[in-house]
A and B are shown apart, each in its own frame.
Chain A
Amino acid sequence: MTELSVGQQRVRWVGWLRDYGVYAGLVVLLAVDTALNPGFLASSDLRVQTFQLVPTLLVSLGMATVIATEGIDLSVGAVIALAAALLPLYLGYNAGLAIAVCLAGGLLAGLVNGLMVAISRVQPIVATLAMMIGLRGIAVIFNGNQAKPVLDPTLGALGLNSVLGVPIMAWLALVVVLAVVFLVRRTTFGQHMLAVGDNRTASRLAGLPVRRVLLTVYLISGVLAAAAGVLLVGHGAEADPANQGLNIELAAITAVVVGGTPLSGGRIRVVGTVAGALFMQLLSATLIQHDVPNSYAQILEAVIICVAVYAARDRGAR
């Protein structure tokens, strides 16, 4: 406000970092990788990356819609645990039914989160924290406290097979990305979502369906987390509610934030979120490949989160 020229330059620089930083980072990372290891883009390695990326990406997209409404969903990892617990129970009947039950479970968890946030107006962080703590406990009890092998051909195909040389998972992710882009850019719901995140009181006074919007974003997050859980179980051929999806909420929040969506709501960057998830995945893969110790990788991740949030911060202030 006070310093003009220097301040404006700084704002422009930070704004550029916020808007394009993640893409620039991605390009640099890819360039470094191919320079150091010309075979980096070989398909086998990319496939492995894809399998690790897609579940986190699905969760991140749901998280992005929640964060756009100034919320947060810490329960996504627990929803994955729930999916892992429910799958083996219904696989005996039919794989389709089992997947449907898992998605319904995710919707139910999202419904409870959404009701607490939208109707009871509990703060999102604590409402979903309660779900995060409680639901994983329930899921582990459901599953009889142990990891179970899951040897179902349909699930295995979802988790491992490819169509046209691209893993089915990646096609699924593409469909979800396009759906979320459509939702955000082309529907009234998308507009309402951003309005609610920008200013909930004003949205209510303007007659927007605030409660329905809030409920819906938690439903989206829940169902996408459940889908990620199905893919994780399918890929790992194992249902382990005690461990699957652990800390995925942190990875998802990181992807969303690095992708340029501010935590203060009112804005969403879907493609940025994809790039954010991709960047974090590629970064950890690169560091592992070059035998960088896990400790430095974690510290680097922390620094990147801080830089991303610092860049996104100005937006919230204005």
Chain B
Amino acid sequence: MTGTDTATVAGSPPSTTSGAPTRGERLLEVVQRQGAFAVLVLVVAAASIASPGFATVGNVTSVLVGNAYPALLALGMTFVIISGGIDLSVGSVFALGGVLAAYGAGHGGPIVAIILPIAVCTAFGLVQGLLVARAGMAPFIVTLAGLLGARGLLQAISHEGQNTYQVPAGSWFAAIGAGTWVPVVTVIVLFALGALLLQRTPFGHNVFAVGGNANAATLLGVPVRRTRTLVYVLSAGLAGVAGTLNAARLTSGVTEIGIGYELTAIAVTVIGGTLLAGGAGSVLGTAAGVLLLAVIQNLIGHYISQYGSSASAAVNGAFLAVVVLLQTYLSRARRIT
């Protein structure tokens, strides 16, 4: 992200190519933007034909519900990565949000259970954002410290993980995450709002501008520092929301949760066509990436259940490698043509 070489190779956004795009260039751009979606359609179609158990209502809902809340981490990550940063803290902040929500539900009622985690997580994101944007520290290391710090905070609240706070029975807080369709609809709505925020608002345009070329953005009068700060606030806030909803669903503040979620969120975002160099990406692509990995995991779990999680990890890693290689070559091809 600071490397001049990598930035010019992988990070040139489509808009910098001079003149009108040729048909080949447009095709490449479509492949990059919609590649994850196309593969998703292919995999779903193939799985529906080959495996009779795949396209059932029960299986589809289990895929959707099982991946609903962690998907919100990828939504926030999309903004951060487009702005040219990275957020390693989301897994810990997700867990912190869950513990705070369950604590709040038990100690102050449903309203506290919603406000407390979101306020704390947003403040956490603000600190990280200020360290990145104002103090000029590398996002990777600030959020690495955030990963440790949020987990430490969580353990301090839960007495070193000994206390698992429960949402009191009968609290309406549990209802906001219960059922089959409530989580799915919540997440779809948040993704739609995220897409609008990124594509249709000045803030979204600023995120692209900052990630594409921070110096040029400064010269154009884009509030670079504010934008940078806000993407970390947004990311941590969404992680807090996801943790809160997850705690409502589980009716408890599980402490040993969210470990490694940040890596999945990054992988999914990159697979969805967002360039890690910043300046290009889309919320819809990330949604396709989330679903793609979820479907693959579901299929692997179905066929080789003995090695389920390990095999899907292996496939996910290979998939990520293929996608980034393709992306790099596509970007380079576009520069040459």
Residues on A lying within 8 angstroms of B by beta carbon are 70, 72, 116, 120-123, 125-127, 129-138, 140-141, 145, 199-201, 204, 242, 250, 253-254, 257, 263-265, 293-303, 305-306, 309-310, 313, 316-317
Interface segment among B130-138, B225-233, B280-288: the answer is B130-138
Docked-complex contact B324 and A263, CB < 8 angstroms: no
- B103-153: which residues lie under 8 A (CB-CB) from chain A? 131, 135-138, 140-142, 144-149, 151-153
Knowing A121-B328, A137-B314, A297-B152 are in contact, say whether A310-B2 is a contact too (CB < 8 A).
Answer: no
In the complex, are the beta carbons of A141 and B2 less than 8 A apart?
no
B266 interface residue per 8 A CB criterion: yes
Knowing A199-B4, A263-B141, A294-B160, say if A133 contacts B152 (CB, 8 Å): no
A303→B313 CA distance, assembly (Å):
32
Main secondary structure of the interface of A (DSSP, over half): helix
Residue of A nearest to B155 (CB): A295
Nearest CB in chain B to that of A204: its residue: B5
Q: List 28 A-B contacts (CB under 8 A).
A: A116-B321, A122-B324, A123-B277, A127-B324, A129-B266, A130-B317, A130-B318, A131-B317, A132-B317, A133-B263, A134-B321, A137-B311, A137-B314, A140-B313, A145-B306, A200-B4, A201-B4, A250-B144, A253-B144, A257-B141, A296-B152, A301-B148, A302-B148, A309-B145, A310-B137, A313-B136, A313-B138, A316-B2
- Contact at A121–B6, with CB atoms within 8 Å? yes
Q: Which of A70, A120, A298, A316 contacts B329 (CB 8 A)?
A: A120
Besides A72-B140, A123-B6, A295-B153, 14 other A-B contacts (C-beta < 8 A): A121-B5, A121-B6, A126-B320, A131-B317, A141-B314, A263-B140, A265-B3, A295-B154, A301-B152, A302-B145, A306-B131, A306-B142, A309-B141, A317-B136
- A133 with B149: CB separation less than 8 A: no
B318 touches A305 (CB 8 A): no
Contact status B155-A294, CB under 8 Å: yes
A120 contacts which chain B residues (CB < 8 A)?
Answer: 325, 328-329
The answer to whether the Cβ of B270 comes within 8 Å of any Cβ in the partner chain is: yes
A134 in contact with B316 given A129-B267, A297-B152 (CB within 8 Å): yes
Are A302's CB and B152's CB within 8 A?
yes
Q: Give, as a whole number of angstroms, the nearest-CB distance from A256 to chain B.
A: 10
